[in-house]
Structure 1
């Protein structure tokens, strides 16, 4: 891969080689925002970002996968091995978590496919560092999508060794856009606020003010300041062997007023809460899961439950659909891979059991089907006979004249 393509990939989000020449020659103007960007490693250590990534990774990692063929779910050995255990060195949950976090941080996830020539002959999938994979498109001929990794180029497609998943893709680009890259202003604000509040007590504010009604020259002001801080002319602390309690003596009409600030103001609680809410919006994570709240918003159990359902449908699905499509492309044709969302969409026990009772009374679910939903084995013949004996007799129907 040429240097122009690498420059294009780094600065223009993976455009063509011809466009990269324009970037290198200075035709495309530099961005107006000259502030240093928040890099991936730095953003991950911001508390709110770390919490959002932890929620996304944990949510995806705990989900199961199902494989269907012509509408029938495959079970046991019929499920392809690459779905049962995508990577031989880690659990399936860890593998899925890494894919989701890669898209959440860089906007892209890449896996290396081991195995035969065809995608269906895959033996295992290895997650790659998305920062080490460069996507670009040929400018001549078929204009194929290409990936450069470890000094070699690979064409995208059914026989490719590299499979890409993109979080948010704009038309004409070959690389996805992630929340961290799309919201650099918010990331910088959160970073600067964290650094400023941590340094506030060290260098950010005076501990007090010495004042007088008399006019002071700059030399007199410096002298009084050194005397109050018990420093010599070179700024070196003076040992006070005769004043162990460090009592200050004022004169010349001097007054000392300590600067008092509440812990809430010192930690910039409101500003940090605002940054947390902004980061929650960027990642699509409900404020209740981020352990923060919107002022004036009364949260009830019903509201929280609806928030979590919305998070699954409109937040997590942005990651899950891309992973499903990638894994489907690596299974034999006619098979479809889907996430099992029951672990995230399950309601509380009381609500769930009430729904089961309604389904049994209406007759569109059997006891064994309800037990399967609750991950319980089917009733044995003995248990079934006992249940039928305990079941109340149906109420007599009135005879219409």
Structure 2
């Protein structure tokens, strides 16, 4: 059995990530090759595609309206009296606004696949949530099935139980989420290497390196003098006219950007990195080869909202009910981001939808007005419905006159 486990570790095994007791990891346990450049949070965020993808996810989630609802026999209403309502909708901690708090959680979730926040309590009431950098937290699965989170702050290490640390995770082994940045290491490394090459090339005046050949043997002093005199052929930013004499010839040896298709490679990296984060390249301002106007973009945006952002929001909403509420509260309350605000149509489309909803008795006029940010009006709280609909066999006939009871029909 030990030999089988060793071979399994060498060659890998099919299926999802393993869940074994001990320290959990959100990064790949093995890599096929070394990256083209060192990849960490700071170097990755200097790549525009990474920064743009993470910013879109975190800022969009942070901008969404959020509310906590209490569900009762008459429907649901905002749970204004619940202590967690104030924390999640107005003041999560002493340092952040609601928007900043959700941005911090979404940033860590998008980068490392895990977001952590210390649960601050006064007795049994939750009075604050303090986000932590996921790079400073290590999650361990204990032998008894419990989970411990070790937070490193300088030289100090604090260990929190699962009831003292709020942990949101992307898909993984069930205990910890997989890190998109870690699994995109090779793609991000190529983008970093390409950026470094472009930076070095332009800092050198976009001059390629080369070889200077002379048709006679030089002494060490002459060789040093020639190297010093003609070094600016491949170094420096000055554009000068050099005169080569005595049979001297200059031959380029480095490849130009067009030779290595540097522009095409950088364009592809935008698409490749966007795939890891689930962000369409058009949202990263990559419009080459695709339409940037019309319904095509609207369909792309709609798919992004539904297939990328919706799973993020669902994970957060369910995590609130699971870890920040008791079992009894989780059955009576709902946590919800206002996802409809992302799919909000244009003015004409909203007016048409409101008219249909009012005419079919699904909305009152005041509910439609409130959804448009307008005040309610007297008499607008009644459901209305069109009354001109008749059976098709009665079409074209005059409506009959109602005869009072006890009188002769005219």
Give the structure-2-normalised TM-score.
Answer: 0.72
1:169 partnered with 2:172: yes
Query: CA 1:331 to 1:138, structure 2 compared with 1: closer, same or farther past 3 Å?
Result: closer
Residues 85-112 of structure 1: CA distance to partner in whole angstroms, max 9, x if unpaired? 3223211111111101001111111110
Query: CA 1:369 to 1:19, structure 2 compared with 1: closer, same or farther past 3 Å?
Result: closer
Among residues 273, 295, 302, which one is paired with 1:302 in the alignment? 295
1:349 counterpart residue number: 347
1:82 counterpart residue number: 87
What's the CA shift for 1:290? Answer: 0.6
2:13 counterpart residue number: none
Q: Is the 8 A contact 2:62 2:99 kept in 1?
A: yes
Equivalent residue runs for 1:231-242 within 5 Å: none
What's the CA shift for 1:164? Answer: 0.7
Residues 158-188 of structure 1: CA distance to partner in whole angstroms, max 9, x if unpaired? xx111111122135xx321121011111111
Q: Structure 2 CA distance, aligned partners of 1:179 and 1:18?
A: 19
What's the CA shift for 1:219? Answer: 3.6
Q: Is the 8 A contact 2:23 2:141 kept in 1?
A: no
SS at match of 2:282: coil
What's the CA shift for 1:395? Answer: 11
Among residues 397, 403, 408, which one is paired with 1:400 in the alignment? 397
Is 321-330 or 185-194 further displaced after alignment? 321-330
Query: CA 1:56 to 1:313, structure 2 compared with 1: closer, same or farther past 3 Å?
Result: same
Query: CA 1:236 to 1:399, structure 2 compared with 1: closer, same or farther past 3 Å?
Result: closer
Equivalent residue runs for 1:93-108 within 5 Å: 93-108=99-114
Q: Structure 2 CA distance, aligned partners of 1:276 and 1:77?
A: 44
Residues 301-334 of structure 1: CA distance to partner in whole angstroms, max 9, x if unpaired? 2121111111111111232122212322324612
Query: CA 1:255 to 1:30, structure 2 compared with 1: closer, same or farther past 3 Å?
Result: closer
Query: CA 1:209 to 1:345, structure 2 compared with 1: closer, same or farther past 3 Å?
Result: same
Query: CA 1:313 to 1:222, structure 2 compared with 1: closer, same or farther past 3 Å?
Result: farther
What's the CA shift for 1:266? Answer: 9.5
Equivalent residue runs for 1:216-365 within 5 Å: 216-217=215-216, 219=218, 227=226, 230=229, 248-252=242-246, 268-293=262-287, 295=289, 297-328=290-321, 329-331=323-325, 333=329, 334-365=332-363
Q: Structure 1 CA distance, aligned partners of 2:341 and 2:24?
A: 46
1:366 counterpart residue number: 364
Which runs of 5 or more structure 1 residues have no equivalent in the other structure? 1-11, 21-28, 238-244
Residues 125-184 of structure 1: CA distance to partner in whole angstroms, max 9, x if unpaired? 000121222111112xx221222235343332xxx111111122135xx32112101111
Q: Is the 8 A contact 1:137 1:143 kept in 2?
A: yes
Equivalent residue runs for 1:156-195 within 5 Å: 156=162, 160-170=163-173, 174-195=175-196
Q: Structure 2 CA distance, aligned partners of 1:290 and 1:54?
A: 10
Query: CA 1:227 to 1:178, structure 2 compared with 1: closer, same or farther past 3 Å?
Result: same
Q: Is the 8 A contact 1:169 1:177 kept in 2?
A: yes
1:3 counterpart residue number: none
Q: How many residues align?
A: 351
Superposed CA RMSD in Å reads 4.1
What's the CA shift for 1:202? Answer: 4.4
Which runs of 5 or more structure 2 residues have no equivalent in the other structure? 1-16, 234-238, 399-410
Q: Structure 2 CA distance, aligned partners of 1:374 and 1:51?
A: 31
